[in-house]
Amino acid sequence: MTELEVTGLLEQQQTVICASTGADSWPHVVPLWYVVRDSEVWVWTYAASQKVRNLERDPYATLLVEAGTVYAELRGVMLKVAAEIERDPELVSGLGMAVLERNSPAGELTREEAEVVVAQASKRVAIRFVEHSRTSWDHRKLAEI
């Protein structure tokens, strides 16, 4: 996929699958809502979660965003990334608002929802995923070959 096509896919989809490495060396795979900032995937999650503990120990992860329901429509991007965990409450709450606004049917949060995000910021972190490499595919293009 071209850079523009990958950007479009990331803007269209809602969930990124994040694979980190557990303490027992087994992959730990979880879905997360995300936003893209400056061409980087960011997520908002609980600081005490297993994925955060994994990324604190080993910052390398693999992300997957995909779309399509039948083989001829499948497309996606796999990103090899290094996680940077941010704990600043202002940054964390701002990211939380952006993630929830992006996924809200109304496209914005109510005052009450925003207050909950701010209140939860002390229990959460923002994770910036710095891309090291990517692999992408688009089965819709197979007919062109």
User: Smallest Cα–Cα separation from 130: which of 53, 67, 44, 43?
Assistant: 43
Residue 56 lies in a domain: yes
Report pLDDT digits (tens) over 63-92.
999 999 999 999 999 999 999 999 999 999
pLDDT tens by residue, 34-52: 999 999 999 999 999 999 9
In a domain, 145, yes or no: no
pLDDT at 145 over 70: no
Give the residue-averaged pLDDT of 12-17.
96
> Is residue 40 one of the residues assigned to a domain?
yes
The strand pairing partners of 67, in sequence order, are 75
Q: Are 61 and 133 in contact (CB under 8 A)?
A: no
| CATH code of the domain containing 84 | 2.30.110.10
- Structure confidence at residue 1 (pLDDT): 95
